[in-house]
Amino acid sequence: MIAIPVSASQEYQVLIGPGLLDELGTQVRAISMARTAALVAGENVFSLYGQRARASLEAVGFRVLCFVIKPGEESKSLAEYGRLLQFLAENRLTRSDVLVALGGGVTGDLTGFAAATYQRGMGFVQVPTTLLAAVDSSVGGKTALNLESGKNQVGCFYQPHLVLCDPLLQKTLPEEEYRCGCAEVIKYAVLNDEAFFERLRRIEIRDQLEEVIQRCVEKKRDIVEEDEYDRGKRRLLNLGHTFGHAVEACSGFTILHGHAVAIGMVMVTRAALRKGFCSQETLRRLLEILTQYGLPTEAPYSHNSLLQAIYADKKMEGNTLHLIVPEKIGRCKILPLGIEEIGDWIIQEGEE
């Protein structure tokens, strides 16, 4: 088992190892004296792994309650959040009890926000079952709900007390969700690790899953420890996300997040090339690896729709947007842009 310590406003460990799901109870018991553990999972994940998680928690004496949600973004809603809080209250959970998120980003974001706010904060454990959640959303303490007006509009920073990642759970991951996780992994390599980028080119991610998760979690840990509240360096993790979120919004959220991040990385690199921040070679290599992993690189939305979607995104801070711009594979910079400059950075295929 690999143990990665994270030292943020809350100290915790990210444990990575095949078969760890069966140690969930022992590991949660090691960090919590809770009487009750409430397990939150999507329907599919619950039918695959819910009973094993429950048995492991019961074996060490937890009273276990299960709250099953519909899979998909719709569950990151105020209504579902209210239902979860009501469930906790009806079952008389207290702030010393623990919520366990078993699933991907949706489950983790909803459960984290409920854990952060129920009785002003209770125990919270993340058990990521997707590649994307393992390398990104389960670590670092971002929690979120969606509003009609956009994704992740409500949320807070609330670090988990434990992250337990069993890579074997990803064996049942649908292919498209695997690819979405690959986009986030590639993002880390483009950000600051050219050797990792080359390794991803040579060896398929699923054939080196544990090592890849470890490397990405360590990278994210280093950034979160320096800038937990997203005021500086953590913004780097938004590589591909500014345009990516706009693409997602333009598609009415039918384009998957990982796909949108892949497209967003290409869009910002195209613009960086035109503006002289990187070479043609950087764009070529990015396109090559995304294609290798079966990820999309273009989306058919107009300049104006993308621009309007960016203006509406929470990444705007007043009249400024911090765009993450590749200078080469393995090096990116944070570029503050005024509102009037953003349109000039939206460059479609063939325009570079």
Binding site for ligand GLY (CB under 6 A): 136, 140, 142, 230, 234, 237
Q: Which C-beta is closer to ligand GLY: that of 142 or that of 259? A: 142
Q: Which C-beta is closer to ligand GLY: that of 8 or that of 88? A: 8
Q: Report yes or no: 187 and 297 within 8 Å, Cβ to Cβ.
A: no
Q: How far is the CB of 154 from ligand GLY (least distance, A)?
A: 16
Residue with the closest Cβ to ligand GLY?
Answer: 237
Q: How far is the CB of 224 from ligand GLY (least distance, A)?
A: 7
Strand partners, 163: 14, 126
Q: Which C-beta is closer to ligand GLY: that of 38 or that of 135? A: 135
Q: Which C-beta is closer to ligand GLY: that of 223 or that of 347? A: 223
Residue with tokens 């988990």: 160
**Cα–Cα distance measured from residue 331 to residue 336, given in angstroms and rounded to the nearest whole number:** 17
* Cα 261 to Cα 16, 30, 184, 185, distances in angstroms: 25, 37, 7, 11
Q: Which C-beta is closer to ligand GLY: that of 29 or that of 234? A: 234
Q: How far is the CB of 138 from ligand GLY (least distance, A)?
A: 10
CA-closest candidate to residue 319, choices 304, 298, 300, 340: 340
- 145-147 vs 123-128, strand pairing mode: unpaired
Which residues neighbour 204 within 8 Å (Cβ) at sequence distance 6 or greater? none
Q: Report yes or no: 155 and 181 within 8 Å, Cβ to Cβ.
A: no
Q: Which C-beta is closer to ligand GLY: that of 87 or that of 157? A: 157
Q: Report yes or no: 111 and 50 within 8 Å, Cβ to Cβ.
A: no
* Cα 102 to Cα 53, 55, 68, distances in angstroms: 8, 14, 10
Strand (E) or helix (H) holding 239? none
Burial class (CB in 10 A: 0-12, 13-18, 19+), 48: middle
Q: Which C-beta is closer to ligand GLY: that of 25 or that of 112? A: 112
Q: How far is the CB of 141 from ligand GLY (least distance, A)?
A: 8
CA-closest candidate to residue 171, choices 202, 206, 143: 206
Q: How far is the CB of 230 from ligand GLY (least distance, A)?
A: 6
Q: How far is the CB of 209 from ligand GLY (least distance, A)?
A: 20
Q: Which C-beta is closer to ligand GLY: that of 206 or that of 233? A: 233
* Torsion sign (Cα): 160, 141, 53, 96: positive
Q: How far is the CB of 280 from ligand GLY (least distance, A)?
A: 29
Q: How far is the CB of 196 from ligand GLY (least distance, A)?
A: 18
